Structure 1
């Protein structure tokens, strides 16, 4: 029987978890044994007894949970010491941040660990139920509006009172991806006057469908990737964007920035001279602060005041609604595992010709099999992490990690 394990998260203040008691039955139906580290659900007020009553086995140490597992699922990536406790041949599923975690990926290769990075799942209709990046980003958009309200000294909607009329708050959202659209929708529901901008003109209709105004800026030719992510602008286009949106920023009470480039440092969209034009008491919430920031002066995991403007860069946004975030993430993982699971052989075959696994599997059988990541590492000079020959796109099955794996079949498929 395959053991699937859910250790507690490494980050002390993280309340989210990768499994809720109501999810245990789904794994049991697949024929798995569910291992849970004691205290897994503490941050969302779920006891060990709740997991045991649902059919999971609760173990008291992280090492016990990890070392006995064939599949290890976490939200945040394991650290290097914990990876050493993972059995060779086992599968690790997590937000791995593979573009930046060179050493971790190297460790996976040396430990013969198969790894799936959930943020690399392709944005196709087949993957909607397992799209953890979008589910957490959507909640982040909601929370960022909530954070903005916390630090503002005004109400969002227009209010007609005996003491006079209160004007609606002006909210400007930069970036209309999943998080941005949710921020727009949330601010509109609360009665704010909302304007939004995105480099992808194709999202203007989505912004307008939520009742917000789309700020038109002529940047010339822009594009998005096949996965729907915005492509990087040229320095000239960045200058135009900053200049044209400065007026909207200066007149806004709350600005929310959500511009992130997948696998790269986010662009700086709001510089200090623009912040100085904002009204004292205004608030900026910078979604990208953890990775470098969209706002000059933003500090990761902190709230700072710049020229009378509060800049919120606390990050880990979905953690503020940890129960719902845990429910969404755990459902995403169940969908992923169920989609790939072979009920007859009771294994999770790593078939790299499959469009989902080809995009999301990073390491397998001791090599980097994800061509996008392999090419990126080569560009960065991390040649020690890339096999000297082109990775073999072979298939294997994650079953019981301490037993022999099945014979592999070589394929020549490569990640585009």
Structure 2
């Protein structure tokens, strides 16, 4: 069994495996081959991979000779492959044509962002491990951009009021953002359509904004669901009241397979004071404001709107470490104790994130 680790595109600093993960795999009898420079942006050079038991091979050789290819993002060489297993985070609900093409080629595709969000899957949950970092970095980015203090200061020269921070979405990123913002001394309000998260929000020292009548998300596997028009109107009114007072807004709201909901309208933006900051973590799927642009900072009437859905990559070493651990835990489901491939599609986690197999798209939601 040979696993090939590909170098990611230039804009991505993470890598699928750090040397420590390579060591764990080689102990199981798995051969690991790594593209030159694959881990450099995550602060690990080729020598470290060799010491861990990997071989450094050219990209062409890796693509041709590996049984399993690991790459976080879709890669162009996949267009010429057949009968390979590819594992990464491929956003198949947005990349349906790519998945259809890979299916025609006979690739077996596992996309870890589609894992069922169950207790058993927590050790493989790449969305959570990366969102945790994103929530942390979102607050630090906001603090660096915001031209005023976060904490309250009382000095001989006068008092400084604490920053008011609003977080839209109390998932993993949102909860980490609360904790980080509170450590920095900000006053935090949080909105989420799921009443069940109120207790977690309040336990971290934030105020929870309630809007009654949200659609039941209990059967959505931990993901957000679309809301009724009536609810959305009441939601926008309540959010608008908080945004008018907020200095910092961090938005995280996304719905799998759909454009991110607009939670902050242009009218709301116009009520924010000059110098305010919005960090939009949903930028890759359209953003939670109508003016968000992915990987860009937009200055809208004095308000900085930073669109960044890949903040985890700004901490490449730790992000790669966590991602690699998630991936290693998943690989243990498809590789037996002798280091041989064992694709058990009776396993709900293996089946749940398999997108293409036997020449077809097999994931129900992607189909």
Same fold (TM over 0.5): yes
Q: For this structure pair, what is the TM-score category when the shorter chain's length is used for normalisation? A: over 0.9
Contact 2:215/2:225 (8 A) holds in 1:
no
Q: Which one of 264, 267, 276 corresponds to residue 273 of structure 1?
A: 267
**CA offset at residue 251 of structure 1?**
0.3
- SS, match of residue 365 in structure 2: helix
Contact 2:333/2:350 (8 A) holds in 1:
no
Q: For 2:149 and 2:143, how far apart are their aligned partners in 1?
A: 8
Q: For 1:357 and 1:371, how far apart are their aligned partners in 2?
A: 14
Q: For 2:216 and 2:348, how far apart are their aligned partners in 1?
A: 27
Q: For 2:215 and 2:122, how far apart are their aligned partners in 1?
A: 29
Q: For 1:336 and 1:348, how far apart are their aligned partners in 2?
A: 12
**CA offset at residue 154 of structure 1?**
1.0
Q: Which residue of 2 aligns with 1:373?
A: 366
Q: Which residue of 1 aligns with 2:277?
A: 283
Q: Which one of 35, 39, 44 corresponds to residue 33 of structure 2?
A: 35
Aligned residues: 367
Q: Which residue of 1 aligns with 2:120?
A: 126
Q: Which one of 187, 197, 218 corresponds to residue 193 of structure 1?
A: 187
Q: Which residue of 1 aligns with 2:348?
A: 355
Q: Which one of 74, 78, 84 corresponds to residue 75 of structure 2?
A: 78
Q: For 2:289 and 2:226, how far apart are their aligned partners in 1?
A: 17
- SS, match of residue 23 in structure 1: helix
**CA offset at residue 149 of structure 1?**
1.1
Give CA deviations for 1:296-351 in whole Å, capped at 9, x if unaligned: 2111110011111110003311011111101110111011101332124x323222
Give CA deviations for 1:174-193 in whole Å, capped at 9, x if unaligned: 00011111111111111110
Q: Which one of 23, 26, 29 corresponds to residue 25 of structure 1?
A: 23
- SS, match of residue 315 in structure 2: helix
Q: Which residue of 1 aligns with 2:7?
A: 8
Q: Which residue of 1 aligns with 2:332?
A: 338
- SS, match of residue 120 in structure 2: helix
Q: Which 5+ residue runs of structure 1 have no aligned equivalent? A: 375-416
**CA offset at residue 261 of structure 1?**
0.3
| TM-score, normalised with respect to structure 1 | 0.86
Give CA deviations for 1:227-265 in whole Å, capped at 9, x if unaligned: 111210112211111111111111011001110001111
Question: Following TM superposition, where does structure 1 have runs of at least 4 consecutive aligned residues deviating by more than 4 angstroms?
Answer: none
Do structure 1's residue 66 and structure 2's residue 66 form an aligned pair?
A: no
Give CA deviations for 1:182-221 in whole Å, capped at 9, x if unaligned: 1111111111100101001111011011111101222354
Q: For 1:26 and 1:362, how far apart are their aligned partners in 2?
A: 27
Contact 2:193/2:214 (8 A) holds in 1:
no
Q: How do 1:316-327 residues align onto structure 2 when only pairs under 5 Å count?
A: 316-327=310-321
Q: For 2:64 and 2:157, how far apart are their aligned partners in 1?
A: 66
Q: Which residue of 1 aligns with 2:150?
A: 156
Alpha-carbon RMSD across the aligned residues, in angstroms, is 1.3
Q: Which residue of 1 aligns with 2:323?
A: 329
Contact 1:224/1:230 (8 A) holds in 2:
no
Q: For 1:221 and 1:321, how far apart are their aligned partners in 2?
A: 35
Contact 2:93/2:365 (8 A) holds in 1:
no
Q: Which residue of 2 aligns with 1:296?
A: 290
**CA offset at residue 113 of structure 1?**
1.0
Q: For 1:315 and 1:119, how far apart are their aligned partners in 2?
A: 14
Q: Which residue of 2 aligns with 1:401?
A: none
- SS, match of residue 76 in structure 1: coil
Q: Which residue of 2 aligns with 1:57?
A: 55
Contact 2:96/2:366 (8 A) holds in 1:
no
Contact 2:3/2:66 (8 A) holds in 1:
yes
**CA offset at residue 13 of structure 1?**
2.2
Q: Which residue of 2 aligns with 1:140?
A: 134
Q: For 1:249 and 1:225, how far apart are their aligned partners in 2?
A: 30
Do structure 1's residue 174 and structure 2's residue 174 form an aligned pair?
A: no
